[in-house]
Amino acid sequence: MKQEKIAEWKAKGIDWLANQLWLQRNRHLEMNQNLNTVERELRQVKSENEITQTVKQQNRNLAKILEENGIRPAQLRITYQEKDCKGCKFGSDLGSGEYDCYSDFQDYEYCPKKKIVETVSFYTYKIDNDVICGILNTFDGRGEYDVLKVVDCKTGEVIWEREAE
């Protein structure tokens, strides 16, 4: 098999062999560039993962220090609303629970909304223009909800309430 292939290549001539060598060299360079890109992206993902783990550990440490000093988050039962893409006549199912809105409504004011009741722990919070935001017990950036009602879980006191749209 090897002898036959070499004989075939010799028959095609030196120009053909040189051209094949050039093409293989370019493919090799391209593959090396792709490999370098993938390795760089992998290093970045690993670095981001390490940072995320470090931040989570620091958040746990901070929560422990606050708790040791008698500072605990306030548990609030919030009733909020968010877009209900599943029930929207302007959307389409993309599969795996994702929906795409193909309406021309930029502010989504006509989108159907669903009510959600959830218990959330806040170290600090404020309610402004129907939105509650603050520092969550996990210290992450999430913490903005379009609230309808806020109840203190400890006392049962209604802190804030408004009518649904």
pLDDT at residue 102, rounded to an integer? 57
pLDDT at residue 98, rounded to an integer? 63
Model's pTM, two decimal places? Answer: 0.55
- Closest-CA residue to 124 (of 57, 88, 73): 73
Note the pLDDT tens digit of each residue in 24-57. Answer: 999 999 999 999 999 999 888 888 888 888 888 9
Note the pLDDT tens digit of each residue in 57-113. Answer: 988 898 889 889 989 899 999 998 887 777 676 666 666 666 666 555 555 666 777
Give the span between the Cα atoms of 159 and 146, in whole angstroms: 15
Strand partners, 100: 92
Q: How confident is the model at residue 134 (pLDDT cuts 50, 70, 90)?
A: confident
